[in-house]
Structure 1
């Protein structure tokens, strides 16, 4: 006796999207039970929920600018090596350099081993920008290094004109204070420069031998009408640069640096250049007034000074009483103010009338 088979499901027009299709319990031709079909959930690359590829441009910029902090590795999902790179400051620079080279060579991948998106389109621009960036950084580093070395050298080289000048008054005055007597004695212990006066008309180059000693030079050209200048091959370089008549004094060889052996004079009339030892510089124990460029010895009991200037050009007051030269004032035009000015030699540059008073 035969039994009826299972009753087949009723016919239906309903079709499951993306699933294998059956007819009378059999797969349709060309279909496999385990085969993925278009539209089936999670069946094709770029499926819903998949993490997108990391960007080559972003990785490159992080590697170039923030590689020492490991930001590029954090971005790629490699947190462990990112922390290690951060703690070692990019392997003291070497790790950062290697990662940058690998990025530009297209060898970097994310945590899943996938290549970076956009490498082919942007690699040439990235290489060019990287080279330019590294060259500019190198040039800036060289200039910063030179400037830093110059500042350190200047700070480490105290001025060699800290001794008080030996004037006739200080040498002959029996009632001078003990401190002044000690300063005068200190000035007498060092070698002295013999005074010398050079003369000429028009442009000239004069060779001198200052024996590496600090000196004060007084340049005068009363009848000049054109460009008037006085330059040295020492550390001070440009002492005078004006138009027309000029008369003023300047310090040269104030520190143990490049000694002055040559003066370059630009003038259109007769001029004189007097070179003297710093002992010839007058001492000032109270308020002092002057006009134009001048050198004085500030011999007071305070390091505070009230300074005024009436002029149109640059007004500079520089002191040499401390271990490091002081730029007390550096202004343009009229000036009035209170500044720190350590007792010692003082260089004033002005085109007008000025005063310095102790406070």
Structure 2
């Protein structure tokens, strides 16, 4: 009798296990229909989000949102909010004041960014925006004690450098058309007491041509494919391709 009861119990147990491991329609149980996470050697893992890759500088010289390409003006501290963009563009700025003038890019959910302009007193210059990092810009924080203007425009409107000597004062962006066909030599002259930094932008990451303090005279290589050159200084400068 005990043997018969044991056999019946075993049969009932096997029946319950079979019901659990199969769905109500005779197919696989619910646990088998859950999405599978791929393991090494079993194909790529599907992700709901994808980290964007940053295109080379030369590929990001395209028209930015037209709604933002205009001139903003004000006096004192202010915020200028824009459509989010990763496209490079120019910012031409002026400040009529006696104290610190700082313009800092704003990025969504990101750390505080280094300023694109940090001057004392009056200022006039043009700088490149979105040139160094992969952040998605959505505005500027402005600190000023006087009246200021901020004109945003496409990189294609940068000052052209056709190959001869080019001179200026203060911050400037130069466009090379066509781009530098091969490594060439650039003679750089700077007169001033502050920092002077010259960057080259092209097929790869931005390259520093010069980063000095005070008066500077020297020759440096201009990388092949360079399409933009930026000068950051409060002094006077001359660039000559040789």
Q: Report the TM-score range of the alignment, normalised by the length of the smaller protein.
A: 0.5 to 0.7
Which residue of the partner structure matches residue 254 of structure 1?
A: 131
Distance 1:308 1:210, change over 3 A: farther
Structure with larger RCO (C-alpha < 8 A, sep 6+): 2
Larger Rg: 1
Equivalent residue runs for 1:89-128 within 5 Å: none
1:200 aligns with 2:74: yes
Q: CA deviation at 1:191?
A: 4.4
Runs in 1 of length 4+ with deviation above 6 angstroms? Answer: none
Pick aligned residue for 1:319 from 200, 206, 211? 200
Q: Is the 8 A contact 1:220 1:272 kept in 2?
A: yes
Residues of 2 paired with 1:312 and 1:200: CA distance?
A: 30
| TM-score in terms of structure 2 length | 0.67
Q: Is the 8 A contact 1:157 1:255 kept in 2?
A: no
Question: Runs of 5+ in structure 2 lacking a partner?
Answer: 1-52
- Considering fraction of residues, name the structure with more strand: 2
| TM-score in terms of structure 1 length | 0.46
Pick aligned residue for 2:171 from 282, 293, 298? 293
Residues of 2 paired with 1:309 and 1:191: CA distance?
A: 32
Paired positions, count:
178
Which residue of the partner structure matches residue 271 of structure 1?
A: 148
Residues of 1 paired with 2:190 and 2:59: CA distance?
A: 26
Residues of 1 paired with 2:157 and 2:123: CA distance?
A: 21
Distance 1:313 1:207, change over 3 A: same
- Give the secondary structure class of the aligned counterpart of 1:208: strand
Q: CA deviation at 1:256?
A: 6.5
Q: Is the 8 A contact 2:57 2:203 kept in 1?
A: no
- Considering fraction of residues, name the structure with more helix: 1
Q: CA deviation at 1:266?
A: 1.1
Let me know the Cα RMSD of the aligned residues: 2.2
